[in-house]
Amino acid sequence: MDSTRGICAGWTKLLRAFRAGESGRHRCPTVGKLARMCSHYQGIKEAEKYRKVFGAEPPPELSKWDLWPGYVGSFIRRHTHADVGDEAVPSAEALTGLFGLVPHWSQDTKITRSTYNARSETAAEKPSFREAWKRGQRCVIPAEAIFEPDWRSGKAVPARIARADGEPMGIAGLWSTWKSPKGEFVFSYTMLTINADAHELMKKFHKPTDEKRMVVILPESRYSEWLETKVGGEGEFLVPYPAELLKAESSAVNASILT
């Protein structure tokens, strides 16, 4: 059963339990421990902005602003009843879930520490992501900004990356549902990534010897298309967001990285 009503029956209780335990079980990792890709981002705090930009009613409880793997954040997916022909049913719905995809076969949610990003080139084959990919379980992840490690000072310093116009980002992702040993259903999600070796901004991050990667930031006008496209049509969306439409700041240099 994958109706929102059925899954959410035990989700509220479980959600509170996760939130209560975040400060202990899921401590904020250092940049050095999770510097491979985007492991830290900021969600949307204002419900009205959520509605205006993403065209979806935000979850009753908006997630934390600063989000790390294993934390509870929000994502937007195509409504499970969007095809019934009822105008009262919205085309998309916003849900809360764990940042880091939990596949159905996982024994627990610790896997979120390594499934917060999915390489788009291999997601269709990787055990953690292939089911969500092949089922077309795509989502849009609302974010004010993402963080990547800036190594220009010789140490990993978080750099905050946001849209240059100040508007929120819609990051392409995959979502899944996991049944806990107690029989409770848990939503989770991951951010899709692509190569960024040639990207004028994102190639500046991570260690010089590392492959440059970036999350897939969708054009605002294509959020619905991303959710509705058929399996096999994802490729046209998996392209770098223009560098000139992004801005980055790092305390390592106390200045814009674009300069």
Express each pLDDT in 69-79 by its tens digit.
999 999 999 98
Radius of gyration of the chain (CA): 18
pLDDT class of 25 with cuts at 50, 70, 90: very low
Count: domains in the chain: 1
Residue 242 to residue 254: CA distance in whole angstroms? 23
Give the residue with greater pLDDT, 20 vs 57. 57
pTM (predicted TM-score): 0.85
Q: What burial class does residue 190 get, using C-beta atoms within 10 Å of its C-beta: 0-12 exposed, 13-18 middle, 19+ buried?
A: buried
Residue 161 has pLDDT above 80, yes or no: yes
- Which CATH number fits the domain that encloses residue 169? 3.90.1680.10
Contact 106, 129 (CB under 8 A): no
Residue 112 to residue 71: CA distance in whole angstroms? 9
pLDDT of residue 10: 45
Residue 171 to residue 216: CA distance in whole angstroms? 6
3-state helix, strand, coil split of the chain in percent (to 5) is: 25, 30, 50
Residue 180 to residue 109: CA distance in whole angstroms? 9
Print burial letters for 208-234: b (CB count within 10 Å at least 16), e (below 16): eeeebbbbbbbebeebeebbebeeeeb
Task: Report residue 72: phi and psi, to 5°.
Answer: -90, 120
Give the residue with greater pLDDT, 238 vs 252. 238
Domain around 206: 4-256
Closest CA to 71 of 106, 35, 38, 112: 112
**Average pLDDT rounded to a whole number, residues 43-50:** 93
